Amino acid sequence: MSPQGAYLTAFLVGLLGGVHCLSMCAGLVSSLTLSLDPRVRGDTLRMLPFQLAYNLGRIVGYGVAGAIVGGFGALLLQLGSVQTAQRVLYGLAGLAMILLGLYLGGWWRILGAIERLGLHLWRRLEPLGRRLLPVRRIPDALLLGFLWAWIPCGLVYSVLITAVSTGNPLDGALLMLAFGAGTLPNLLGIGLLAGAAARLAERPWLRQAAGLLVIGFGVHALWQLVAGV
């Protein structure tokens, strides 16, 4: 898959995976909204800069994580046969998307176990976030959004596996930035229209449709690998 194709796929995974974001992050986003000054949260135009700052910080956090795992992928490529390592990493990326689709559709919760692995890091970061509440300034919202990026999330972890397969810190960062951009409409919608947006996640057909599409991405990636495309 070309880099452009990988970025588009990551964007679509973020967009389609938004049904997971709606169910997982609705409470968090609502809490961030309620932490704002009552005069701000009562005015959509005044609240918008804070919601954009939360999400910009979050997407930057994804980019940093993508650069880290992309660098790890580069190290793996240097340790052995480049061609073999690339095929292994690409296969892992396809498998991760299939697992993600099963997770989104509610058919297999294996990524829930992976989420628990990130709890150790989050327990160290969460107290830092609490110190920024209530949010009074845009820089605080940016930093809080950056910390938000490290919340244990199977959706994010599955795309990070794909970022490892890029074998390059810059490509890994760009892949995660594309993914983050895909999640923006859903999560920004939660912040501005919390109740209406969150209710979308309660519709099983929507989650299952998103899951099937993401599984399709994963199957296509594995088919390309087997076919030698």
Q: Which residue shows structure tokens 């930057």?
A: 60
Q: Is 106 helix (H, G, I), strand (E, B) or coil?
A: coil
Global pTM reads: 0.81
The pLDDT of residue 195: 47
Q: Is 206 helix (H, G, I), strand (E, B) or coil?
A: helix
More confident residue, 4 or 20: 4
Mean pLDDT across the stretch 159-176?
91
pLDDT value at 38 more than 80: no
Are the C-beta atoms of residues 95 and 218 closer than 8 Å to each other?
yes
**Mean pLDDT in the chain?**
79
Token pair for 8: 């588009």
Round to whole Å and give the CA distance between 199 and 9.
26
Round to whole Å and give the CA distance between 68 and 74.
10
Confidence class of residue 7 from pLDDT cuts 50, 70 and 90?
confident
Are the C-beta atoms of residues 53 and 145 closer than 8 Å to each other?
yes
CA proximity to 152, closest of 101, 189, 111: 111
The pLDDT of residue 116: 72
The pLDDT of residue 86: 72
The pLDDT of residue 14: 84
Are the C-beta atoms of residues 151 and 28 closer than 8 Å to each other?
yes
More confident residue, 79 or 115: 79
- Lowest mean pLDDT, pick from 1-10, 148-157, 178-187: 1-10
pLDDT value at 146 more than 60: yes
pLDDT value at 219 more than 60: yes
More confident residue, 61 or 17: 61
More confident residue, 182 or 121: 182
pLDDT value at 109 more than 80: no
Round to whole Å and give the CA distance between 15 and 18.
5
The pLDDT of residue 173: 97
Cα–Cα–Cα angle for 106, 12, 118, rounded to 5 degrees = 55
What is the total residue count of the chain? 229
pLDDT value at 210 more than 50: yes
pLDDT value at 169 more than 80: yes
Cite the DSSP H helix spans in 3-137: 3-16, 18-34, 38-41, 44-79, 82-105, 110-117, 119-131
User: What are the extents of the domains in the chain?
Assistant: 3-227
Round to whole Å and give the CA distance between 101 and 158.
10
pLDDT value at 17 more than 90: no
pLDDT value at 39 more than 50: yes
pLDDT value at 199 more than 60: no
161 Cα distance to chain centroid: 11
